[in-house]
Amino acid sequence: MDNKFKNICVMGLGYIGLPTASLLATKGYKVHGVDVTPSVVETINEGKIHIVEPGLDILVKSAVGSGNLKAGLQPEAADVFIIAVPTPFIGDHEPDLTYVKQAAEAISPYLKPGNLVILESTSPVGTTNLLADILAEKGHTPGEDIFIAYCPERVLPGQIIVELVQNDRIVGGINKDSTKTTAEFYNTFVSGKVLETTAKTAEMVKLTENSYRDVNIAFANELSLITDANDINVWDVIRLANRHPRVNILKPGPGVGGHCIAVDPWFIVSQNPELAKIIRTAREVNDSKPEWVMNKVRTYASKFKNPVIGCLGLAFKADVDDLRESPALNIVKQIQQEKLGELVICEPNLKSHDEFELFSLQDTLQKADVILLLVDHKEFSGLTAVMLKEKLVIDTRGIIL
């Protein structure tokens, strides 16, 4: 490969780190992936995957098979270090930067002059400079002997492999040299535009993107409550309002799930408690939607002596098998906990589930008194009100025609 970066060390082999490491390996880089979980390291070294994402299995197999990707528990010397570790929140929605700090400590002994350290994890504003401070304390001179930048991941679960290459990237270094060197690196494998800015701006851009989406989904969710209270069909309202050239309302649902949209806005709120009013309220509106759905279930189930509740979908969104922070799964668990009826669950993207028996769509429809549609998977798209006329239906995604 004709560029100055040859060896890459990727810290964290989850939903972002593993696809990134594999992609770089298939582009000819020598990649050493690091994860704290021994079983993850073993699985990857066998050319297999521990997470599900379309196309990832083939990518990892070919990356490991080529000899360009290997995984380990400890970092190794490299030209570029990419940090893609989780940044969850703790307590009252305060960001938890433990994993970023641990990654910084772990790579420090391996850093050499000229190295590039890139943070990809979604992080509160100031984290890239914090990373630089940690490395400075260890004797490095960030911005001079090592370059440090933030380049947030922006890929959509379900389309990660394509979006890793095609999406525009935002690169914000702790100084100009860091920004330039990082942009140069991304330009070797990204077909989208690589846009340069400062670390702080790049951090804010990432939080802004997901907060923007959360606020817009909250608007749709609030609208669904208002229309329901007024006996108006929310889907008709949205469809017709969206015919206005400057209106584009998103879809209501049973709540907002996944590891990103329901988390990242809190980073803005926790740093700006007085100012972030809409962002906080949006989070609260979206977080309260599952309870609204539960009230519907309670009402409908109470109409039967021994209700059978057919739940369509467990995943956090359409056409994925990802159950992380899934409102659908939480609602199903709540129904079980409150013993509201016999559960019959259909999740076409899973073969089995540890806790729940899964049924075919046909069996679910046939057995259920109440149909609770929780995820707009493509398998459910042909359902019509006529087909379900014997049932009580709660369609949280508006796909039943």
Q: Catalytic positions, please?
A: 206, 260
User: How does DSSP classify residue 45?
Assistant: H
156 near ligand SAJ (CB under 6 A): yes
Span interacting with ligand SAJ, options 95-103, 133-141, 251-259, 295-303, rule CB under 6 A: 251-259
The residue (of 100 and 135) whose beta carbon lies closer to ligand SAJ is 100
Other beta carbons within 10 Å of 265: 28
Q: Out of 210, 224, 330, 364, point to the residue binding ligand SAJ (CB under 6 A).
A: 210
Output phi, psi for 301, to 5 deg.
-65, -35
Q: Out of 32, 169, 317, 377, point to the residue binding ligand SAJ (CB under 6 A).
A: 317
CA-based nearest residue to 14, from 38, 40, 43, 46:
40
261 near ligand SAJ (CB under 6 A): yes
Span interacting with ligand SAJ, options 62-70, 123-131, 237-245, 246-254, rule CB under 6 A: 246-254
157 near ligand SAJ (CB under 6 A): yes
Residue whose token pair is 């990707």 = 69
**Minimum gap (Å) between residue 62 Cβ and ligand SAJ:** 24
32 near ligand SAJ (CB under 6 A): no
**Distances from the Cα of 100 to the Cαs of 53, 105, 134, 241, 331, in angstroms?**
24, 9, 10, 44, 32
d(CA 325, CA 49): 21
Q: Out of 30, 169, 251, 280, point to the residue binding ligand SAJ (CB under 6 A).
A: 251
154 near ligand SAJ (CB under 6 A): yes
Q: Out of 35, 53, 120, 153, point to the residue binding ligand SAJ (CB under 6 A).
A: 153
d(CA 135, CA 109): 10
Q: Out of 108, 122, 128, 198, point to the residue binding ligand SAJ (CB under 6 A).
A: 122
Span interacting with ligand SAJ, options 258-266, 345-353, 354-362, 379-387, rule CB under 6 A: 258-266
d(CA 279, CA 273): 10
> CA-based Rg of the chain, rounded to a whole angstrom?
23
The residue (of 280 and 317) whose beta carbon lies closer to ligand SAJ is 317
Span interacting with ligand SAJ, options 127-135, 183-191, 209-217, 364-372, rule CB under 6 A: 209-217
CA-based nearest residue to 345, from 317, 319, 320, 374:
374
Residue 373 DSSP SS3:
strand
**Burial of 72 (C-beta count, 10 Å sphere; 0-12/13-18/19+):** middle
377 near ligand SAJ (CB under 6 A): no
226 near ligand SAJ (CB under 6 A): no
**Minimum gap (Å) between residue 257 Cβ and ligand SAJ:** 4
310 near ligand SAJ (CB under 6 A): no
CA-based nearest residue to 380, from 331, 333, 356, 347:
347
The residue (of 124 and 258) whose beta carbon lies closer to ligand SAJ is 258
d(CA 321, CA 57): 14
The residue (of 175 and 281) whose beta carbon lies closer to ligand SAJ is 281
**Burial of 104 (C-beta count, 10 Å sphere; 0-12/13-18/19+):** buried
Q: Out of 217, 311, 371, 373, point to the residue binding ligand SAJ (CB under 6 A).
A: 217
The residue (of 158 and 341) whose beta carbon lies closer to ligand SAJ is 158
Q: Can you state the percent helix, strand and coil of the chain, rounding each to 5? A: 40, 15, 45
User: How does DSSP classify residue 378?
Assistant: G
Number of residues that bind ligand SAJ (CB under 6 A): 20
Cross-strand pairs, 51? none
260 near ligand SAJ (CB under 6 A): yes
The residues that touch ligand SAJ, with contacts defined as CB under 6 A, are 122, 153-157, 209-210, 213, 217, 250-251, 253, 256-258, 260-261, 316-317
